């Protein structure tokens, strides 16, 4: 089974439409390999970043599950996960617990168009984060959502999925 995060089985011409996503081939792609700055102020600027990320994810239709701010050139610790036509935001996320049970799945990433790698990840995680208002939250996840949390948190820590390839 293939699992794609802000990535996809989209035809190449759709990638041109989503020109704000930074790929590993771009001159400014070094942002993908640097840890993101922690969010300290939950203001209008952060909400604008969230709106931009939401627009990108929703324009990808069913192709993208998650998107991290560095993928659109913003070094801030926020990622988005799409649930149908709804998008949820995770600020300053930290994975607090990973299950010992793991599985290998094929993943993709919009920052690596049409490239897929087999990645071993924990089946269950506990994520501690803040919402867009700065409120502390905890979320347990398993399966594809746990995988998405790991993939997107890696982005915020400057780790791209090719570094985890098997």
Among 121, 122, 96, 108, smallest CA distance to 160 is for 108
Residues belonging to the active site? 152
What pairs with residue 34 in β-bridges?
none
Among 66, 63, 7, 75, smallest CA distance to 36 is for 75
Please measure the distance between the N-terminal and C-terminal CA atoms of the chain and give it in whole angstroms.
15
What pairs with residue 95 in β-bridges?
127
Does residue 75 contact residue 34 with C-beta atoms inside 8 Å?
A: yes
* Angle at alpha carbon of residue 133, lines to 131 and 136, rounded to 5°: 50
């Amino acid at each position: 089974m293939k699992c794609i995060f802000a990535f996809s089985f989209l035809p190449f011409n759709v990638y041109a439409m989503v020109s704000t996503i930074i790929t590993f081939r771009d001159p400014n792609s070094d942002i993908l390999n640097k840890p993101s700055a922690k969010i300290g102020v939950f203001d209008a600027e952060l909400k604008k970043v969230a709106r931009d990320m939401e627009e990108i994810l929703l324009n990808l239709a069913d192709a993208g599950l998650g998107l991290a701010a560095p993928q659109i050139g913003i070094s801030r610790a926020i990622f988005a996960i799409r649930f149908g036509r709804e998008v949820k935001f995770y600020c300053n996320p930290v994975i607090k617990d990973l299950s010992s049970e793991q599985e290998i799945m094929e993943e993709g990433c919009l920052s690596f168009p049409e490239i897929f790698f087999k990645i071993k990840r924990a089946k269950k995680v506990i994520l501690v984060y803040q919402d867009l208002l700065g409120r502390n939250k905890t979320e347990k996840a398993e399966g594809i959502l746990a995988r998405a949390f790991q993939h997107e948190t890696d982005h915020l820590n400057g780790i791209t999925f090719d570094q985890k390839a098997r």
